[in-house]
Structure 1
């Protein structure tokens, strides 16, 4: 699977990428919404992992924008955020996210979610 990680914290983005790679998947990084929008067509990710607290275009808006594009296909969207309350989970679901992961991301959790997605594909 190809996974695009959209995260403005460079160290956290790279660490998440290494976790994804350890599990056995390919990844690309984007630091913000406009960069993700500009680069996804050439990479064609199966999964988008999007930080909610992005500068400028937040993760909710980015998810909505990407899901509105016909070339996205059946990509899966994972919110990654420090916010885990019921209200935040409701907001990610309303924006179109398929999963909601609370930071810090643990290898076991990420492996389970990505494994479930891979199995369904």
Structure 2
């Protein structure tokens, strides 16, 4: 498996309410709003993209109070914290990296915020 480091650099322009489903059509999908206010807890389902060969089943779970990494690619960390953690994913192209702001959209494809993510291969 390739070992990736996911850095959550910051979030901005957030306009979201409790229980609002969010998704990023480009590379992130199924972000579920479950917290009462920012900082909030969310689940991000990483979809297959041109930038990285993620499996459709890869999931990252955000929470406010834990930093954990599971072999089944379920990682938990605080979105409100600027930092990084390692996750295990298979079939990662070693020459690919994502470092970009991603629009967060609701189910009506309305922009409700942005999150700056950096995803890079750091070795096996």
Larger of the two Rg values belongs to structure: 2
Higher helix share: 1
Instruction: Name the structure, 1 or 2, with higher relative contact order (CA <8 Å, separation 6+).
Output: 2
TM-score exceeds 0.5: no
TM-score scaled by length of structure 1 = 0.31
TM-score scaled by length of structure 2 = 0.30
